[in-house]
C-alpha cells in the first residue's frame, strides 16, 4: 500500500475536523531535564552529568492522545486521574490552555504519574518514574464510570489509552461494557499486555509489535511475522488490529482477515516517545469520521513519520501533514487556516480572499492574482476541488487535478495561502475566514455577487478588478488546442 496522495490527505483532515472523541486512561506528565555529560565517575562505571538548569514539561500518556486529537482538529474529552500536586496542576493547565476538555479525578494517596527524562538533547541518559500502579479503589471506579456515562452520548468514538498505571481494572471494564451496550459506539484500545482484557469487544486494537507479540503469546518465538501477530489478535478478539513496527511501518489486519502493510516514511528518527499516541489519535479520529481503516492507517503513518523527527513527546498538526504530503507550507486545511488568518488580523494585517477553479493557469490568472495581492497584506486563494469543478464546468474538467492546481498556485509569489473547498460557492469558507477584502475579477457588478451580502455583514469590503490578459481564458485555450475557432487564447 502506498502513502496517501496529497489530495487524500487534505480530504481526510477535513473529514476528521470537529470529530468528538472520549479518551479514558492513564494521563501523565513528561518532564525533560537538560543535562551535560562531563566525565566518568571514579565511584562507579557511570557517566557524571551536570544539570543545565533547563527543563520542559509536556502532557504524556492518555493526555498526549487527547492533545494529539486536539492538534489534529478533533474535539477530545479526557477522563483520567491526577493528584492535587504541582505536576497535576501543570498537566491540567497545559490541557485546558489547548482547549482539551478534562474530567481529571483524584484519589487519596495516588500521585500524578511523572516521567522525568534526563537528556542532553540528543542522548537520553536515564528516566526516573514516579507512579502508583495499583488499581484504583472501587469508589473511584464508580466516579470514573459516572463521568463516562455522563459524557458518552456526546462522543463519536471511545479510546482506552492504557499505560498500566492503575487506571484500568476488570471492575471498571465491566462497568464500561455495560454503559456501552447498545450504544453502537466504536471502541479503540491502545493496550498493555498486563491489561489485555480491555481488548474484549473492541473495534480496533493499536499495539506496537512487542506488545502485540506478548498479548498473542508469541513473544518467546525467535522469528514471528508481524502479519501473523495481527491475524492472531484479530481472530482472538474478533477485531481490527493495527500493529505499529517503528522503522518497518504498520500492519493492519481487518476483522475480515485481510492483511495490509505500509512501510514507514523515510526520514530521520529523533525521538519515538509518544509516537504510539499519535497513531492512536489518528485512528480514533478516522473511526469517528467513519473513514476507511486503510486510509486511517496511511494518515497515521504520515503523522507518525513527522512526530518521531521531533524531540521529546510531541504532536503533529494538519499544516505539517499537508506540507509533508505536498512539499508546500502554503496549502492548508480550512480549520487551521482560520486560526492563521485570525492571528494575522490581530497583527493588523489586511487579509484578501479570492476563489476560482484555476484550471490550466494562464497569464490572465497571474496578473489577476498579483492585482488581488496588492489590495492587502495577505492573499488567500480558495480553490475548487475536482468534484466542485466538474459540477460547475461539466465532465472532462478539470484538466489538472486539485492538488496539482494547488501546488501551482502555492508556487506563485503573490499567493500566501491556498485552501481547497468542495462546495459550489465559497460561502462557507468566507464565513469561516471572514477576510477583510473579497475580490473577484471580470465584468461582475458587486450587486450580482451572492457572497457580497455576507462579506458586508461583518464589515468586509467587496472589490471587482478589471479583466486581465485581453480576454484570455481557459475555455479559449482548450478550443484552440482542439482546433476549434475561438477567441485568442
**Rounded Cα gap, residues 212 and 334, in angstroms:** 37
How would DSSP label each residue in 236-304? HHTSEEEEE-GGG-EEEE-TTS-EEEEPPP-------TTHHHHHHHHHHHHHHTT--HHHHHHHHHHHH
Pick the closest to residue 118 from 27, 60, 31, 41 (CA basis): 31
Pick the closest to residue 59 from 1, 112, 9 (CA basis): 112
- Asked whether the beta carbons of 59 and 29 are under 8 A apart, the reply is yes
Provide CB contacts within 8 A for 114, sequence distance 6+: 28, 29, 31, 87, 129, 130, 131
Longest CA span, the chain: 91
Residue indicated by cell numbers 468514538: 157
**Rounded Cα gap, residues 213 and 440, in angstroms:** 59
- Asked whether the beta carbons of 160 and 206 are under 8 A apart, the reply is no
Residue 158 CA neighbour count, 13 Å, CB half: 25
- Residue 443 is a catalytic residue: no
The answer to whether the Cα torsion of 479, 482, 483, 489 is positive or negative is positive
The three cell numbers locating residue 20: 468528538
Phi first, then psi: what are they for 342, rounded to 5°? -60, -45
Q: Which of 26, 162, 271, 277 is catalytic?
A: 277
Which residues are known catalytic residues?
277
Amino acid at each position: 500500500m502506498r502513502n496517501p496522495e496529497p489530495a487524500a490527505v487534505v480530504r481526510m483532515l477535513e473529514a476528521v475536523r470537529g470529530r468528538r472523541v472520549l479518551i479514558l486512561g492513564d494521563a501523565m506528565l513528561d518532564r525533560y531535564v537538560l543535562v551535560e555529560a562531563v566525565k566518568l565517575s571514579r565511584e562507579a562505571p557511570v557517566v557524571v552529568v551536570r544539570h543545565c538548569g533547563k527543563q520542559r514539561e509536556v502532557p504524556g500518556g492518555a493526555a498526549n492522545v487527547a492533545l494529539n486529537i486536539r492538534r489534529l482538529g478533533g474535539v477530545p474529552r479526557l477522563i483520567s486521574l491526577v493528584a492535587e500536586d504541582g505536576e497535576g496542576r501543570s498537566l491540567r493547565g497545559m490541557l485546558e490552555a489547548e482547549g482539551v476538555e478534562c474530567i481529571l479525578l483524584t484519589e487519596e494517596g495516588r500521585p500524578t504519574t511523572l516521567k522525568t527524562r534526563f537528556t542532553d538533547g540528543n542522548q537520553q541518559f536515564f528516566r526516573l518514574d514516579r507512579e502508583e500502579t495499583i488499581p484504583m479503589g472501587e469508589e473511584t471506579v464508580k466516579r470514573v464510570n459516572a463521568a463516562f456515562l455522563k459524557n458518552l452520548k456526546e462522543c463519536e468514538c471511545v479510546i482506552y489509552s492504557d499505560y498500566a498505571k492503575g487506571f484500568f481494572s476488570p471492575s471498571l471494564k465491566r462497568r464500561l461494557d455495560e454503559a456501552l451496550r447498545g450504544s453502537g459506539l466504536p471502541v479503540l484500545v491502545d493496550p498493555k499486555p498486563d491489561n489485555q482484557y480491555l481488548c474484549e469487544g473492541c473495534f480496533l486494537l493499536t499495539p506496537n509489535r512487542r506488545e502485540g507479540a506478548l498479548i498473542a503469546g508469541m513473544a518467546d518465538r525467535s522469528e514471528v511475522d508481524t502479519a501473523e501477530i495481527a491475524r492472531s489478535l484479530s481472530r482472538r478478539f474478533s477485531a481490527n488490529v493495527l500493529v505499529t513496527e517503528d522503522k518497518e511501518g504498520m500492519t493492519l489486519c481487518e476483522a475480515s482477515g485481510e492483511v495490509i502493510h505500509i512501510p514507514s516514511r523515510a526520514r530521520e528518527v529523533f525521538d519515538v516517545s509518544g509516537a504510539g499516541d499519535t497513531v492512536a489519535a489518528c485512528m480514533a479520529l478516522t473511526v469517528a469520521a467513519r473513514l476507511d481503516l486503510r486510509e486511517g492507517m496511511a494518515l497515521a503513518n504520515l503523522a507518525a513519520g513527522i512526530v518521531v523527527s521531533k524531540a521529546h513527546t510531541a504532536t503533529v498538526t494538519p499544516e505539517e501533514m499537508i506540507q509533508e504530503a505536498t512539499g508546500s507550507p502554503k496549502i492548508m486545511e480550512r480549520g487551521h487556516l482560520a486560526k492563521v488568518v485570525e492571528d494575522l488580523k490581530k497583527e493588523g494585517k489586511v487579509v484578501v480572499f479570492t476563489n476560482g477553479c484555476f484550471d490550466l493557469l494562464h497569464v490572465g490568472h497571474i496578473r489577476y492574482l498579483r492585482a488581488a495581492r496588492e489590495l492587502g497584506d495577505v492573499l488567500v486563494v480558495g480553490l475548487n476541488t475536482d468534484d466542485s469543478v466538474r459540477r460547475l464546468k461539466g465532465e472532462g474538467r478539470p484538466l489538472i487535478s486539485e492538488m496539482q492546481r494547488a501546488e501551482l498556485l502555492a508556487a506563485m509569489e503573490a499567493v500566501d495561502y491556498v485552501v481547497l473547498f468542495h462546495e459550489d460557492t465559497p460561502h462557507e469558507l468566507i464565513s469561516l475566514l471572514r477576510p477583510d477584502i473579497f475580490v473577484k475579477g471580470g465584468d461582475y457588478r458587486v450587486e450580482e455577487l451572492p457572497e457580497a451580502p455576507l462579506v458586508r455583514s461583518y464589515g468586509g469590503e467587496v472589490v471587482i478588478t478589471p479583466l486581465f490578459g485581453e480576454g484570455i481564458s481557459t475555455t479559449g485555450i482548450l478550443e484552440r488546442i482542439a482546433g476549434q475557432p475561438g477567441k485568442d487564447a
